[in-house]
Amino acid sequence: DVNSNVLVARSTGDAQLDKAVWQWLSWDKNQKTKEQIERLLQNGEHKELRARLCCRLSFGTAGLRSAMGAGFCYINDLTVIQSTQGIYKYLERNFSDFKQRGFVVGYDTRGQVTSNCSSKKLAKLTAAVLLAKDVLVYFFSTYVPTPFVPYAVQQLGAVAGVMITASHNRKEDNGYKVYWENGAQITSPHDKEIIKCIEECVEPWNGSWNENLVDTSPLSQDPLKKICDSYMEDLTKICYHRELNMQSSLKFVHTSFHGVGHDYVQLAFKAFGFQPPIPVPEQKDPDPDFSTVKCPNPEEGESVLELSLRLAEKEDAKVVVATDPDADRLAVAEQQENGSWKVFTGNELAALFGWWMFSRWKENCSQDADVRNVYMLATTVSSKILRAIALKEGFHFEETLPGFKWIGSRVKNLLDNGKEVLFAFEESIGFMCGTSVLDKDGVSAAVVIAEMATYLQGQSLTLAQKLVDIYEMYGYHISKTSYFLCYDPPTIKRIFERLRNFDDPQSYPKCCGVYNILHVRDVTTGYDSSQLNKKSVLPVSKSSQMITFTFQNGCVATLRTSGTEPKIKYYAEMCALPGHSDRSVLEEELQKLIEALIENFLEPAKNGLTWRSA
């Protein structure tokens, strides 16, 4: 073998690394990524080779996600083939009818020329692995929103599905998101078991590299038209004011952030009876370089919404809706009376969606409908506003671990037990309106917000004014979320270990500056001081760091690591009871507490943390 001759001449002096290099050069058929490893070997860059070849991808809150490029811990042709072979092995063990029921494959529009890597190519290789094993594959003939994959899995009765996307991450990244037969993202133990299966069959099988199979195999089917039509039809189940929408004079601007959203949001508005929203021309078509924004995350607020806000002013449109590049999340901005723009946070939008979905249910439910059968859900780091609405209105509210995969699984479980779920969310602008899709969905959320704004306009109210009404009625919930970047995993570990051994070994902090701490919950270790048995009600999640502090003044603050990026995130919220509504006092108290939290617990200067760029 030519490659092994190269290796004999260039042994790294490390047997484990030599083996990994040999495997890569023997298995990788992508010339660009193969050359990246060969170049590192020729230049004697052993540290970089070790970083790329001596660790594997693991499942985070959104499946596998990493930079595109060569190496076993990067996203590339070879690691996608290996992951799919592992999934094939796992599904074959779990489903006797796997080959007949089939598997769904979707993709966004990401790509990297230097690695000859694109979402579509990775999707074709995913399909190839399965088609070569005689599995029926539903392969979307063009890019789709992420929610289309879980929706298709359920609609087509497939055993699972994969979406190739890195959502709103930086342009260098890509990812591999896996959905189970229930239409929800996989959770443990599936993820751990799949990783084991991947490790059992790392060498590509015959046929795994044949990306043309999607065009030639009789087992490859394109579900695009059927799924798109069916999705738009299902969407009308949460449309309550079609007549109003058809007559509305309100104008909307939509930006799809150089991603997949444009066509699908246009169709969704049509399904609700609206005129199409005005697209931002520079951002309407897919662009893997996201060339007009510094980062493709609409959550970053006004700085990345610049083009859409200026277009809205020019067109006299009062509301801007922004879907992230894979259209599973939604940002919303509204022009205020003084001409400035309010960009809503995820928690504020959830207050509006929660009020809307419940009030529509109440207005349209049958005589004998029981409010105690109704549920809403949120992740534990999100605002508790739904809890406040639920307490007053009589429905159920539940919390899950961070990540929509936990919400999706729990919602499926509730539906199977005859419950009705109206809405679920996570604060990072992820919303699920209705239950057609058991994942966050920016397409449906965009058109629901449009209908809500139209309805409110008929009552001479804006979204921002309605939000104040909701807080006046259910109690102010003021929250702030931000993050620090940290590229050094040992530093992150040290920060959290210090909190677990604060004044003494195995003791958590009793206060943070002048603020007394009432309770501590550590989901990483399973500890919760507020429970009689000191055990956390939420399942233990050892793979990520997450500690929540409840303060005597009613503030709840969480520190956690991101499952998809090198970030330490913090979340803090002050909840007031209805009637205790001096907003400025609450905001000031929250700001001071956050400053104390950062200074005492994160110590950014000492730990070399980079503050999120303002």
In 10 A of CB 530, how many CB atoms? 13
Distance CA 162, CA 216 (A): 21
Q: Name the one residue in this structure whose structure tokens are 């030519």.
A: 2
Residues annotated as part of the active site? 167
* Apex 561 CA angle, 556 and 564, nearest 5: 130
> Which residues are paired to 482 by β-bridges?
570
Question: Measuring CA to CA, which residue among 599, 515, 502 is closest to residue 554?
Answer: 515
Give residues with Cβ within 8 angstroms of 572, minimum separation 6: 479, 480, 481, 555, 556, 557, 558, 590, 593, 594, 597
Distance CA 100, CA 249 (A): 49
Structure tokens at 120: 């579509």
Contact between 459 and 449 (Cβ < 8 Å): no
Distance CA 355, CA 385 (A): 10
Segment (H or E) for 493: helix 489-500
Distance CA 120, CA 142 (A): 8
Helices vs strands, H then E, count in the chain: 23, 25
Distance CA 405, CA 544 (A): 15
My answer on whether omega of the bond before 189 falls inside 30° of 0, hence cis, is yes
Distance CA 211, CA 128 (A): 6
Residue 165 backbone phi and psi in degrees, to 5 = -165, 155
For residue 602, the 8-state DSSP code is: I
Segment (H or E) for 200: helix 190-200
Distance CA 370, CA 373 (A): 6
Q: Name the one residue in this structure whose structure tokens are 């939604």.
A: 330
For residue 540, the 8-state DSSP code is: P
Residue 240 backbone phi and psi in degrees, to 5 = -115, -15
Question: Measuring CA to CA, which residue among 558, 553, 559 is closest to residue 585?
Answer: 553
Pairing of strands 396-400, 515-522: unpaired
How does DSSP assign 337-393, residue by residue? TTS-EEEPPHHHHHHHHHHHHHHHHHHHS-TT--GGGEEEEEETTS-SHHHHHHHHH
Structure tokens at 159: 């055993």
